[in-house]
Chain A
Amino acid sequence: DAKTTQPPSMDCAEGRAANLPCNHSTISGNEYVYWYRQIHSQGPQYIIHGLKNNETNEMASLIITEDRKSSTLILPHATLRDTAVYYCIVRVGVNYGQNFVFGPGTRLSVLP
């Protein structure tokens, strides 16, 4: 079973920031938080990941609470092309050879 809980759906206005929450209260000390998204009928796309510190890249920012029990993915200026299902996944680093366990994710709809 997935170790995370996310709201099933969210709406966001085009051009505004989209803030997607994720709860992972049972996260272990060596587990990372990964975010992927899946646009309809495509394979999942990597967005960002982090361990303890907040992270930012060209796609998004990841804010992890100090106790690491929750995190928020921020898309700073959402566009219509950001409409997708967003998956928050916690797991040890990829080098341990484990698969990703996908929960139901959050269906983000960016509205014009």
Chain B
Amino acid sequence: GAVVSQHPSRVICKSGTSVKIECRSLDFQATTMFWYRQFPKQSLMLMATSNEGSKATYEQGVEKDKFLINHASLTLSTLTVTSAHPEDSSFYICSALPTSSSYNEQFFGPGTRLTVL
């Protein structure tokens, strides 16, 4: 099956710093990637939709200037958490939607656990 990777898998940073999370589709191309956030004991919540070569679409309540998304190629999307604060500590998960119509599912990455001290 198709694989989506995320890097790093875990990151700890100080308050006020910026953190970049990468999401890669390893063996397929993805025009669209999604970024989710998951707090402990809660479900996944969509943050934004990332389309290759265009600006991301953010969900209501998600600050686009704080969560910068770049989808510069068909296999890579990045999420940068700027000026991170403890309340940004969460599990961030990306998913990739294959460009090819031969796939019937969306593929999720393993997640990145961010801890802001």
Contacts and interface: CB of A to CB of B under 8 A. Distances in A.
B18 interface: no
A34 B105 contact: yes
Interface size class of B (residues with CB under 8 A): 20 to 34
Interface string A74-112: 000000000000010000011101011111110000000
Contacts, number: 57
B34 interface: yes
A89 B77 CA distance: 24
B46 interface: yes
Nearest to B49: A99
* Listed residue (A34, A87, A94, A101) with the most chain B CB atoms within 10 angstroms of its CB: A94
Interface residues of A, number: 22
A97 B36 CA distance: 15
A44 B97 CA distance: 14
Nearest to B100: A95
A105 B95 contact: no
Interface in B39-56: 42-46, 49
Given A43-B93, A99-B34, A102-B44, A93 B104 contact: yes
A42 B111 contact: yes
Interface of B: 1, 4, 6, 31-32, 34, 36, 42-46, 49, 91, 93, 95, 97-98, 101, 103-111, 113
Interface of A: 34, 36, 38, 41-46, 49, 87, 93-95, 97, 99-105
